[in-house]
Structure 1
Amino acid sequence: MLKTLRPALLLFAILSLLTGLAYPLLTTALAQALFPQQANGSLIEKDGQIIGSRLIGQQFSGDKYFWGRPSATSPMAYNAGSSGGSNLGPTNKAQLDAVKANLDHLRQAHPTQTAIVPVDLVTASASGLDPEISLAAAYYQLERVAHARGMPLARLHQLVDDHIIGETFGLLGEPRVNVLELNLALDAVK
């Protein structure tokens, strides 16, 4: 019995050290050396204070800010500890009611807007934490934000254009804007 137990325990100890200690230490060291910003959460600081992450959306509701995608997390919006979509299908009554409420809210906030409402302004993402919106969603909100800030529309349009994030690796996804970074840039405009 001891003859068969000893190699099993030795193999268990070796694999535990390799997979439980050596591998995590190596991957952490490589991540910190090669991608320190991303490895530490892509945090955004303002005046020495951490105010958010490039990876997690935040709630903006004032007229002078661009709004992000709705969040399906609970018990509050953009709760990173509760990441996940609503898992409601496109024909589910609760999903339809949520989209209709979001649509009504957008139409009230943009009464003169005649363009089609971009889908990412009325539906939550799969994680419920999406920090970015499409260019169509940013451009849809230009008049409201410009009016609330007393800012020329052309200047605001240029600010959005200056914050465009292109396709990943030049071919994946579509151009988009990080809402937190755009709103911080807005606050920095004199």
Structure 2
Amino acid sequence: MFGRRTKDKRIASEQARLRNAEVRKVLVAEGQSRRADIEVRNRMAYDSAVARLIQQSETIDTFRGRAAGLFSVAALIASISTTAGLTDALHPLPLPASVLLMIFMVGIGLCATVVLWPLGGWSYAPDALGILGYQGAVVDLLKEATEELADGIEENEDRISFRVWWYRSAGALTLLETLTVVIGSLLSR
């Protein structure tokens, strides 16, 4: 009877050890699964941040092209006012209209210059050397790099908004320039 209890205890102990080993395996598998989920989530966030930086760069390039075009249109409006017969030697633009026209041209040129000015501190991509030199786990690297990219995206958005405001101002000045030429040519008749 005494031997049977010892055998039962050994069996129970062995069963408990096996259960604990199975529980440990499950916990390790769950931990690995959670870690894999975190890594996938970090990778998605990182890829999203890089894609947003590319999109921001394309956006600023688009506005630069538009600003250069807007300045060209403004110059065209000023030159058409004389070459298309809106004004001539007998019917020049009134002096206030001519002064306004020059002010609008300078304003449009200034706005276009601000939009076209090179960007300082613009975030284009993640820091390759920083990634290569990172000593921690890949999961932590992705998270840290994504956080830095998110900060860069915010700073870029501020720069884009600043330039968009100047671009819109140039558009408004171009409209005012056009109205000045039309009204001035009507008043000169």
Higher RCO (CA-CA < 8 Å; seq separation 6+): 2
TM range (shorter): under 0.3
- Higher strand proportion, which one? 1
- Higher helix proportion, which one? 2
TM-score, normalised to structure 2, is 0.28
TM-score, normalised to structure 1, is 0.27
